[in-house]
Structure 1
Amino acid sequence: MTTPRLVRADRVLTPTTTLEDAWVVLEDGRVAGVGTGAPPANVMAENVTGDDTPHSPVPRYAVLCPGFVDIHDHGGGGASFGSGPEAALTARAAHLRRGTTTVVASLVTETVDDLAGQLRALRPLVEAGELGGVHLEGPWLAERWCGAHPPKLLTDPRPEDVETLLEAAAGTLVMVTLAPEREGALDAISRLVAAGVRVAVGHTDATYDQTRAAVEAGATVATHLYNAARPLHHREPGPSVALLEDDRVFVETIADGVHQHPAVVRDTARRAEDRWVLVSDAMAAALSADGSYRLGTLDVDVVDGVARLRDGGAIAGSTLSLDRAVRTAVAAGVPLEQAVHAATAAPAAAMGWTDRGRIEAGLRADLVALDDDLQVRAVWLAGVPVADAGA
């Protein structure tokens, strides 16, 4: 048993409820209690500098919310999740310091054999709880909307390839993005869902009806809605309308000020409501410096924080972290409570995780403290303060 610790804030976003002048008690890696007003007696006030002090109203944060949950993240801190376990831990640590307490490692298109090797390499990190799982974004995508994926490696989801990747992952694969118009895609969706894998529709030239068929087959996520997809037309609505209107589908947005206009961010949040999910789609340059990087097999140049393919100039992921995504969404006119929900409870629900994404007694004590400008001031992972949080 660990000593119960107290964290206080002007506002605690659970995130389904906002509590004023509130407190949270942490014990044994879990939330032991949540309340308002006078906190429990004989509980030590948490001080992230490491000093234990008798209960007092200090330290006190402006906002306390659940740890961020990023279900679409390719890297950060100069490292990519596909570059091996050491690089994966570097990327994970960079995002953790900015409040992302659960991250799904996203892999970009490579050969099936290469992806199988990457899945096997990341398996121990998922099994140890360092990663929330692995997401395959490719190779079953549309050439026309390939974005930062090499067209020559894109292919149909053959049953034998699906089985190869499921076997390599051994239960650690949590999501696959595919284009449902590809031959064999609907069968692949059914097989993946039966294996416990979430299927996302993205990088697709699918029609409205083809997208509807994918949802009926079991797809439940829209990969970065509007980006890298057939655009809306008044006679052929395409995939985005089909995904946005279906209550079974969680809808991703990359709120980095580059991928979408603020009005689109606002409109998507309003339409998707509790199904709206903020993701980083970060690549290695996130939380790192401008310069030259690799995204899978492709060269990427990052200038002024914007990542683009050296050949062709397509946007190549982002340099985003979820704390900045929340600030960008709020600046676009999204209420803070909904932005926090989209970075915490919604992505957890999209993955079927019931032990995180909310501040509630019995759940994981993954927390982020923000100041009045929504900058990260402290992070707790399973009740333990994260060193250099916000740095």
Structure 2
Amino acid sequence: MTMTLADARVVTPEGVHDGWLTIEDGRITHVGRGTAPGPGHSLGGRYVVPGFVDIHNHGGAGGSFPTGDAGEASRIAALHARHGTTTLVASLVTASLGNLARATSALADLCEDGLLAGIHFEGPYISKARCGAHDPALLREPSVREFRELLAAGRGHVRMITIAAELPGALDTIREAAANGVIAALGHSDADYGQTVAGIEAGARVATHLYNAMPQLGHRDPGPIAALLEDERVTVELVNDGVHVHPAMLRLAYRAAGAGRTALITDAMAAAGAGDGSYGLGPLKVDVVDGVARLADGPGAGSIAGSTLTMDVAFRRAVHELGLSLPEAAEVTSRTPARVLGLADRLGSVSAGRQADLVVLTDGLEVAGVMRHGTWITEP
């Protein structure tokens, strides 16, 4: 079946143009300018951008990936898909190794079904001093042997692991991750500049939610942020929700890293799309008030505990708050995170040969339609 989308403003890596595109068997086959050569589905001049790729997401719609519950995971994916996320990595939080392995095995089934694009371990190999919304009693020193057990539970679907570079065993575990095709990310870390550089040299290639849960920039003690921003091999995650990071600091990071090394993420938890209230994040209780999630009790009470962000909001904020062009906003929400996952040859841009994962946006950059693999989730 061939479908033509006409009367569109197509956002490509090269720019924005009035045009059309054709889709066949779930893939984009042509992207053209001007009037479509035949009849098609008119988009009425709306924008078409690539489907969003979220590489750090804990939940939404009242559900949480760390439970490993298939029904919850399906609701989470559906909620974020309605907001334009067509490729989604399920992020787990610190838990016992047994619980992590069980959740990983269950989520691997959903990866095999194509619902999820992989699994991310955020913990347990992180710093007690910078643990944020993680149970400090469950944190552990990195272990290659344990990591291999978690990899086995994931059956090839573990995509990323966040590690604090300063911990004993961290560099060996980073090397093991890289050797197995798993992205090593540095974060929830008390590392100094030199320790962070050592983590990068060992193979780490992503900064987990830059600025958050790490020492801040200093002119004599630059810390991890400077090391992560200055290394061309590192992609930096940023939570663009107006809570995690001030827009001025987001702009600073973007100027240092550029669109090719910046990946906007949601770091969403169960309250995304579900409203204020009390929720769980792994074993911890989280209260959400006015859309801001914070730990309810324990030693980290009051700490930010994920977000209620969706990627369409991150896209709009990238344009309105950070001043990015539409192609730049599409790059940081789609193309760059797709490249991080090794999927940029399949998705992440509105280009011939790519998967037909598309978001239709109004003039106000609100979602009017979402297509995944050539099938409408929400038809404009």
TM-score tier (shorter): over 0.9
Distance in structure 1 (CA, Å) of the matches to 2:379 and 2:74: 16
TM-score, normalisation: structure 1: 0.93
Q: Give the letter aligned to residue 26 of structure 2.
A: G
Distance in structure 2 (CA, Å) of the matches to 1:85 and 1:29: 25
Distance in structure 1 (CA, Å) of the matches to 2:47 and 2:206: 29
Partner of 1:376: 367
Distance in structure 2 (CA, Å) of the matches to 1:271 and 1:158: 33
Q: 1:60 deviation in Å?
A: 2.2
Q: Deviations over 1:317-348 (max 9, x none)?
A: 00000000111122213313212210000000
Distance in structure 2 (CA, Å) of the matches to 1:295 and 1:8: 43
Partner of 1:39: 36
**Which of the numbers 175, 187, 190 marks the counterpart of 1:205?**
190
Contact map agreement 1:136 1:176 (CA 8 A) in 2: yes
Q: Give the letter aligned to residue 314 of structure 1.
A: S
Q: Give the letter aligned to residue 254 of structure 2.
A: A
Secondary structure, aligned partner of 1:316:
coil
Partner of 1:327: 316
Contact map agreement 2:11 2:17 (CA 8 A) in 1: no
Q: After superposition, where does 1:349-368 map in structure 2 within 5 Å?
A: 349-353=339-343, 354-368=345-359
Q: After superposition, where does 1:277-296 map in structure 2 within 5 Å?
A: 277-296=263-282
Q: 1:124 deviation in Å?
A: 1.1
1:9–1:136 Cα change, 3 Å: farther
Q: 1:129 deviation in Å?
A: 1.0
Q: 1:214 deviation in Å?
A: 0.8
Q: 1:388 deviation in Å?
A: 7.2
Q: Deviations over 1:279-334 (max 9, x none)?
A: 00000100111100000000000011100000111000000000001111222133
Q: Does 1:67 find its partner at 2:51?
A: yes
Q: After superposition, where does 1:117-136 map in structure 2 within 5 Å?
A: 117-136=102-121
Q: Deviations over 1:249-295 (max 9, x none)?
A: 11110000001111111121121111111000000100111100000
Q: Give the letter aligned to residue 93 of structure 1.
A: A
Secondary structure, aligned partner of 1:265:
helix
4+ aligned runs moved over 2 Å, structure 1: 8-11, 58-62
**Which of the numbers 251, 274, 285 marks the counterpart of 1:299?**
285
Contact map agreement 2:120 2:161 (CA 8 A) in 1: yes
Report how many residues are paired. Answer: 373
**Which of the numbers 3, 6, 14 marks the counterpart of 2:4?**
6
Secondary structure, aligned partner of 2:46:
strand
Q: 1:107 deviation in Å?
A: 0.3
Q: Does 1:343 find its partner at 2:333?
A: yes
Q: Does 1:386 find its partner at 2:371?
A: no
- Taking every aligned residue pair, what percent have the same amino acid on both sides? 48
Q: 1:17 deviation in Å?
A: 1.5
**Which of the numbers 131, 137, 148 marks the counterpart of 2:122?**
137
Contact map agreement 2:359 2:367 (CA 8 A) in 1: yes
Q: 1:11 deviation in Å?
A: 2.3
Secondary structure, aligned partner of 2:107:
helix
Secondary structure, aligned partner of 2:35:
coil
Distance in structure 2 (CA, Å) of the matches to 1:234 and 1:153: 34
Q: Does 1:20 find its partner at 2:4?
A: no
Contact map agreement 1:254 1:279 (CA 8 A) in 2: yes
Secondary structure, aligned partner of 1:386:
strand
Secondary structure, aligned partner of 1:161:
helix
- Give structure 2 stretches of 5+ with no counterpart: none
Distance in structure 2 (CA, Å) of the matches to 1:205 and 1:19: 42
- Give structure 1 stretches of 5+ with no counterpart: 47-57
Q: 1:9 deviation in Å?
A: 4.8
Partner of 1:316: 305
Q: After superposition, where does 1:179-190 map in structure 2 within 5 Å?
A: 179-190=164-175
Q: Which moved more, 1:143-152 or 1:58-67?
A: 58-67
Distance in structure 2 (CA, Å) of the matches to 1:180 and 1:289: 36
Q: Which moved more, 1:248-257 or 1:380-389?
A: 380-389
1:9–1:174 Cα change, 3 Å: farther
Partner of 1:177: 162
1:227–1:375 Cα change, 3 Å: same
Distance in structure 1 (CA, Å) of the matches to 2:207 and 2:65: 22
Q: Which moved more, 1:154-163 or 1:315-324?
A: 154-163
Partner of 1:51: none
TM-score, normalisation: structure 2: 0.96
Contact map agreement 1:61 1:370 (CA 8 A) in 2: no
Q: 1:85 deviation in Å?
A: 1.1
Secondary structure, aligned partner of 1:344:
helix
Contact map agreement 2:7 2:35 (CA 8 A) in 1: no
Distance in structure 2 (CA, Å) of the matches to 1:344 and 1:158: 33
Q: Give the letter aligned to residue 327 of structure 2.
A: E
Q: Give the letter aligned to residue 64 of structure 1.
A: V
Distance in structure 2 (CA, Å) of the matches to 1:266 and 1:370: 24
Contact map agreement 1:69 1:103 (CA 8 A) in 2: yes
**Which of the numbers 58, 72, 83 marks the counterpart of 1:98?**
83
Q: 1:10 deviation in Å?
A: 4.4
Q: Deviations over 1:130-172 (max 9, x none)?
A: 1000000000000111110011111111222111101111100
RMSD of aligned residue pairs (Cα, Å): 1.2
Q: Which moved more, 1:330-339 or 1:297-306?
A: 330-339
